[in-house]
Structure 1
Amino acid sequence: MRKEIRVEDILNAVCRYFSLNARDIFTTTRKADLVEARHFYFYMARRYTRLSMEKIGTVPLNYGKEKPYDHSTVLHGIKKIDNLIDTYRDYKEIAIELNSTIEYYTDNNIIVENIDLLQICLDNQLKKAS
């Protein structure tokens, strides 16, 4: 039986891929790299969990955001990434890599708050596999 994918798994995967922490992703800045990571979080959370857009928008409250994102902001991010995936191969590859990482976290029941520790865990896993 497949384990349920947690929003924390998605957030960890997005943080790792973009080399950011959750507080960075959920800041109010409009820097392109942070917005892109935030939108990927919205997209993956909606795709792989049963959370409503409203609930997805409240998760950042756990990471220092003062107000939740409203459902229209979450929807905009989801549509943006969906369009980019349909248009650009690079974005499709990012989504595929994030999916693989999310499945790895879920299958191995990994919860990581420290990205450096996560990188060590994944490096060790790759060494064992080769």
Structure 2
Amino acid sequence: SGDDDATDDSAQTFRAPYPFGHKYTGYADVLGYNNLHDIYGSLKYKSGASWTLEGALHKFLRAETADAAYNTTGAVVFAAGSSERDIGLEFDTVLDYTFDKWATMQAGWSHFFTGPFVEDVAVNDDDLDFIWLSLTAKF
């Protein structure tokens, strides 16, 4: 997935043709697929027909330490420059409520804990929080 030598003429970093963002790499949308290993697990609890609660955990690692970390569009978000592989950890909590077949609501919170790689190369290595509320109406 990653490029093991950024100075040669051969780019070996995987480029996702259809980057789906938080659908696969967490709701905070910090990272995309390029040069990424995502160790992922989730638990989902459904209460009746209306409520669903989900918790997910992502452990992000660089595939190649000579390559950067990229965002969902494929742009460099953290430049190479460290031998650390560990980018960070993301925890997502999502609560869904279904009003009826035409309307749903979703609320969520994501927290991204920066890892040693980000702490080595980023100007701002603070953890990140992302909170959202969405209402969906189907026509």
Normalising by structure 2, report the TM-score.
Answer: 0.22
Structure with more contact order per residue of length (Cα contacts < 8 Å, sep ≥ 6): 1
Normalising by structure 1, report the TM-score.
Answer: 0.23
Higher helix share: 1
> Based on CA coordinates, which of the two structures has the bigger radius of gyration?
2
